[in-house]
Amino acid sequence: MKKVDKGFTLTWLGHATFKLVTKTGTVVLIDPWVEGNPACPKEQRVFEKIDVMAITHGHGDHIGDAATLAKKHQPTIVCIPEIGHFLQGKGVRNTAGMNKGGTQTVKGLGFTMVHALHSSGIDDGGHMVYGGDPCGFVITLEDGTRIYNAGDTSVFSDMALIAEIYAPDVAVLPIGSHYVMSPREAAVAARLLKPKWIVPSHYGTFPVLTGTPDEFRKELERQGVSAEVVVLEPGQSLS
Ligand code: NI
Ligand code: MN
């Protein structure tokens, strides 16, 4: 456990999947990919409950278990309408579609959808389906703490607007390179976002994801960015 004395627990389930438990016990699963996720510890693949599911885009490493877990736990699913439409077609209920710049309150938590620079096709059994735009989320907790989950993205200058408008306390940033930012771009993102804590994600899962937290720390230092990097192992939490 990494102690930050905040009223939440953010557990990395490996790759881009996170479980957020807020101080009132609300469970939010972000980008559900557990069964086929080689980085997800076995004991983290089982859930007592899921109240909310937040989905950043349609790639398999982000929605792989969305339909299965949604049918089992009946969470409210916060996502772009195209992903919601796709999941409804798979028999999922309670999709709460939204779009960028908007905020909705679900189970007492604020979900603001923000931009991400990536793609978002959905592989539906070998057939590519339109998944709308990829996105990130700023989640506002009961006590006002804000967690920015960037989703899969490159760095983009409008991250400065995310900082200006939402001033996130925690930023979850992909650093693995190849499909997402490398440590170099992620350090620029950190400079624009100015979070207190950064949790690196989307690295180490496959050989092509070459970015490492050590490199990321070096880049932050080289670029003169001060933020605490909280490196988790899959199954470990920031709380
Ligand atoms: Ni992706
Ligand atoms: Mn991905």
For residue 60, give both structure tokens.
């398999």
User: How far is ligand 1, taken at its centre, from the CA of residue 30, in Å?
Assistant: 13
Pairing of strands 103-106, 95-97: unpaired
The full set of domain ranges for the chain reads 9-233
For residue 64, give both structure tokens.
């792989």
Buried b (16+ CB within 10 A) or exposed e, 90-107: eebeebbbbeeeeeeebe
User: How far is ligand 2, taken at its centre, from the CA of residue 13, in Å?
Assistant: 14
Q: What percent of the chain has pLDDT over 90?
A: 97
Per-residue pLDDT of 143-170, as tens digits, reads 999 999 999 999 999 999 999 999 999 9
User: How far is ligand 2, taken at its centre, from the CA of residue 88, in Å?
Assistant: 22
User: How far is ligand 2, taken at its centre, from the CA of residue 12, in Å?
Assistant: 14
Whether pTM exceeds 0.85 = yes
User: How far is ligand 2, taken at its centre, from the CA of residue 180, in Å?
Assistant: 7
User: How far is ligand 1, taken at its centre, from the CA of residue 134, in Å?
Assistant: 8
Indicate the CATH number of 9-233 among 3.40.50.720, 3.40.50.970, 3.30.1330.60, 3.60.15.10.
3.60.15.10
User: How far is ligand 1, taken at its centre, from the CA of residue 177, in Å?
Assistant: 11
Average model confidence (pLDDT) for the chain? 96
Instruction: Give CA–CA dist 179/174, Å, rounded.
Output: 9
Does residue 1 register a pLDDT over 60? no
User: How far is ligand 2, taken at its centre, from the CA of residue 159, in Å?
Assistant: 19
User: How far is ligand 1, taken at its centre, from the CA of residue 54, in Å?
Assistant: 14
Per-residue pLDDT of 172-199, as tens digits, reads 999 999 999 999 999 999 999 999 999 9
User: How far is ligand 1, taken at its centre, from the CA of residue 120, in Å?
Assistant: 7
User: How far is ligand 1, taken at its centre, from the CA of residue 59, in Å?
Assistant: 5
